[in-house]
Structures are given as structure tokens and as C-alpha cells.
Amino acid sequence: MKLSLENLRHLIKESIAKQKETMLLEAPRVLTEQERIDEAIKSLSDPFKAIFILGPAGAGKTFFSKQIGVPEEFRTSNPDEMIESEFKKFGLSMKFVTKEEDLDTFEKQQTFREKLQNATQSQTFDWLNQARPVVFDTTGEDVMKISVRMEELKEAGYDIGVVMINVPTDVSVKTDKKRDRTVGKKNTTDISKQYQDEVKKDRGYFTLLTGKTAGYEFMDVLGDDIYGNFFNLSTGELRTDIPLTQDHVDASRNKDGVPYTPEYATQLLEKIKDDLKTLLGPGKNPRGQKLLKGMLALVKASGGLLGNRLSDFAIATVAEDKDYLSDPAIEEAATIVMDMGGAEGMFKKAQRSKKVAGKKLGTAVKGDDGKMRDPTARELGTPKQFNEEEELHSAIKEIVRSILVSKE
């Protein structure tokens, strides 16, 4: 292999990509030229679009996202997806326990879960920084907490659609119990009951979004009701993949107080699909349009070196080799980003607050700088361990060695 900076970058990037699968999800990425093209803002069909798909355990959020036709271009932000792969790699059970049942396992599970949440948050920030369309797959039982995140995204230029799905609490509990990954009866029950109260009974999201409460513009409920995911619409029969009975359906009501029927579910599903198409049309949020215009202008002015990320505006404002801000579109976008505290400030409240994994449980570790940090798998004492950084450094050393040997 020819010794070149590009070859070295490519091989190191491959090693980093492999390492990401073993928890270094926040490692810096070295982009190839093709990746720069693929990630270019001008290649996005739906920039500055976000969809929140909300529902308790067993509601079928992930499947429903496909059913309503969310484009493949959307990235999905859901830390629970990582749990299913990463817990297995490190020998942790996905059957979550309480501290009363097994304190040691409880601390490992919760710390590792927080570690994954931090990694997901960093990954999601990277998508938002690129103005990518994102699906937030979450339970959404706390209406005010999720509404604050929506508001922050709106302020950052996003158009937002909200989809709500529901199944009864006892169905959520039974479904959770059958899964490989479980959160336990108490947690599932608490989340579902809060969802039934705040989302279904009080119609919290409808009150905020359909009433166009100040601060919640450019956010829309997709469909005009909560979708009761009870039926296999191809047959009109009850779903058989979850423990549903006709009594569950009879006890549920649509927004008009009428019992659910397959016909109503079909109509609502079509309405959600139609509303999604509207969301994916021309952007409505003027801030998002200004930012998009500025990003495209910066890409052109810099020859593709800048503009594919909102954080690039910080570089553009201090560049000495070229006066990027002489372009009105770039100047306006840069002003918006800087006034909001930079790219990180724009999305700070759009996700959960980042926490040091295990800090409350006493499993966090003091770093060389004296600050507490997330523990590694080895420090946490997971059943399967390896030192992520040592693995990465060893891989890079081997790459460099093999290149030097081949050059000789």
C-alpha cells in the first residue's frame, strides 16, 4: 500500500468506525471525500424537519414509523436501540432489575444506559448540526418536558410533526415482560399511566399544538387524534402480536367519545400519512429557511469546505483568508447561530440534559483533570470487558506499522 495521508486517514477512519461499535460513539470522525458529498446539505430532501413519534411500551412506534412512510433519509434518535446491541456485547442482561432485587446489576445497567444515552445525544447533535431530518422515538408521557424540546427545535429552525400512538397500560406491561429488553412492571406501568393521563385524557399535545400556543408555531399533530394501535388493518382483526382483547377496544374511545373500529383506524392512518406529506413539503419555519439559505451560500463560497454544518458559521465569522460575511445570506445565518449560543447552544435543550454516567450512583470515575467522567466498561466491571482506547490505539499503530513495512 502506498504511504499517503489519504490512505492513513481512510484506514484510521475504518478503525474508528469499528471502535464506535464498542462504545466510542463520541470519537471524532475523519470524513472521506465521498462522505463529504453524501453529507452535503444540498443533498438533503427534507432539511430542518423533525418528527416525534410518541407512545408507551408495546404501542408499536418503530413499526408505525415505517407504516406511515417516514422517508429513509430521516435518522432515528432512540437510545434504547443501542441497548439491545451494546448490552449483549458487554454481557449485561437487558432484563432491567431494581436496586432491591440486585444492587450490583442495577448500578451496572443504569450506568451503562446513561452512557448510551450520552452517546445517542452526541450522535443526534451531529445530525441536527447538519440540519438532517430526525425522528425522535420516545414515550412522551411528560408533555411539558417533551414540549420544551420541541420548542427548542423550532427555535433552531425546524418544522415539527407529532404522532401519538396508544395501547392500554396492562397491554404495555405484558408486552414489556415478553421482550428481550424490559424495563420492569413498575416503570412500564408508571410511564403508561402518565401517558394515559397527560396525553390521552388531558390531550396535552393537542392543547399546545393545535391551539397554536405562543412559542409552539410550526409544530403540528399529524392526524387529528391519537392512533389506537389495536388492529391489523389488512384483515380488520385485532392484532395478535400483543395481548389485546375486544374489551380493550371497547373501553377505548376516539376524540369524539366513540369506540374504536378498524374503519376509524384506517381513516386516521390515511390522515396521518397525508399530514406527513404536508410536513415534508416546503419549509414553513422562516428561521430554518434563512439558515438553509445561508448554509448553501457558505458551501458555494467556500468551495464545499464549509457550510454543511451549522457550527461552520463560527469558522466563517473569524476566517482571515476570505470575507464570507460579505454575503448577506451567510451573514444573516451566522448572526442567528451566534445569537443562539452557537450550534451547541441551539440544541442544548432539544434533548435530555447530558449527565455524567453513574454520577448519582457513585459509579462515575474521576478523570486526570479532576472532573468526574463516564466509566469505561472495565472500570464498571461489566461481565465482558476491554479497554476501548487501548484497542483503538493498538489498531492505529498496527496500521502505521504495516504501511511503513510495505513501503520498505
C-alpha closest to that of 127 among 56, 93, 78, 89: 78
Residue-level pLDDT at 177: 86
Q: Is the pLDDT of residue 265 over 60?
A: yes
Tell me the HSE value of 376 on the side-chain side, using a 13 A CA sphere: 12
**Residues 164/226, Cβ–Cβ less than 8 Å:** yes
Q: Which residue has the higher pLDDT, 404 or 389?
A: 404
Contacts of residues 252-257 at CB distance under 8 Å and 24 or more positions apart, as own/partner, are: 252/166, 252/168, 252/228, 254/225, 254/228, 255/203, 255/224, 255/225, 255/226
Domains identified in the chain and CATH numbers: 45-279 (3.40.50.300), 285-354 (no CATH)
Phi, psi of 23 (to 5 degrees): 95, -5
- Cα–Cα distances (Å) from 295 to 97, 229, 285, 336, in that order, read 47, 40, 16, 12
- Rounded CA separation 385/373 (Å): 18
Q: Which residue has the higher pLDDT, 3 or 39?
A: 39
* 3-state SS, residue 96: coil
DSSP state of 130: T
Phi, psi of 77 (to 5 degrees): -100, 105
Query: What does DSSP say about strands 237-238 and 231-232: parallel, antiparallel, or unpaired?
Result: antiparallel
Mean pLDDT of 110-115: 84
Split at pLDDT 50, 70, 90, the class of 4 is: low
- Cα–Cα distances (Å) from 288 to 39, 146, 155, 264, 398, in that order, read 18, 20, 9, 35, 45
What are 107's three cell numbers? Answer: 448500578
Q: Which residue has the higher pLDDT, 92 or 76?
A: 76
DSSP state of 201: I
Residue-level pLDDT at 242: 84
Low-confidence winner among 38-52, 214-228, 260-274, 352-366 (lowest mean pLDDT)? 352-366
Q: Is the pLDDT of residue 278 over 90?
A: yes
Split at pLDDT 50, 70, 90, the class of 373 is: confident
- Rounded CA separation 101/179 (Å): 19
- Rounded CA separation 185/229 (Å): 21
pLDDT digits (tens, 9 = 90+) for 295-334: 999 999 999 999 999 999 999 999 888 999 999 999 999 9
Q: Is the pLDDT of residue 368 over 60?
A: yes
Residue-level pLDDT at 25: 40
DSSP string, 204-235: HHHHHHTTT-TT-TTEEESSSS-EE--EETTT
